[in-house]
């Protein structure tokens, strides 16, 4: 069972899960390789909902912070190393 990063709920047939890359654009491949992806309900939490990642700057920022912490922890990086790798410090 897949659970949503944003609302914590399980996948439903009405709103299936998408895999969202925490860092997109030129960092998308790196996100994929480092496992920096999350599951999100396609409608409510990924694209269309009021708090959906692609619809709400606050949620996007929270997810970037989460992703940076995760990357730093997994890789043993500090903030400067993260900035070098991903082009920005989100914390």
User: Binding residues for Zn ion, per CB under 5 A?
Assistant: 4, 6-7, 20, 41, 45
Q: 86 and 65 in contact (C-beta within 8 Å)?
A: no
Only one residue has tokens 């929270």, namely 62
Q: Which is nearer to Zn ion, 47 or 77 (CB)?
A: 47
CB 51, min distance to Zn ion, A: 9
CB 44, min distance to Zn ion, A: 5
Please, which residues have CB within 8 angstroms of residue 73's CB and are 6 or more apart in sequence? none
Q: 22 and 31 in contact (C-beta within 8 Å)?
A: yes
Q: Which is nearer to Zn ion, 4 or 34 (CB)?
A: 4
CB 56, min distance to Zn ion, A: 12
Q: 24 and 30 in contact (C-beta within 8 Å)?
A: no
Q: Which is nearer to Zn ion, 31 or 71 (CB)?
A: 31
């Amino acid at each position: 069972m897949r659970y949503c990063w944003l609302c914590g709920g399980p996948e439903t047939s009405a709103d299936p899960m998408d895999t969202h890359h925490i860092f997109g654009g030129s960092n998308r491949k790196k996100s994929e390789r480092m496992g920096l992806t999350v599951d999100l309900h396609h409608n409510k939490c990924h694209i269309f909902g009021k708090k959906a990642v692609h619809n709400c700057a606050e949620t996007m920022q929270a997810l970037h912070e989460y992703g940076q912490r995760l990357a730093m922890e997994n890789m043993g990086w500090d903030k400067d190393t993260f900035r070098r790798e991903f082009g920005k410090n989100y914390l």
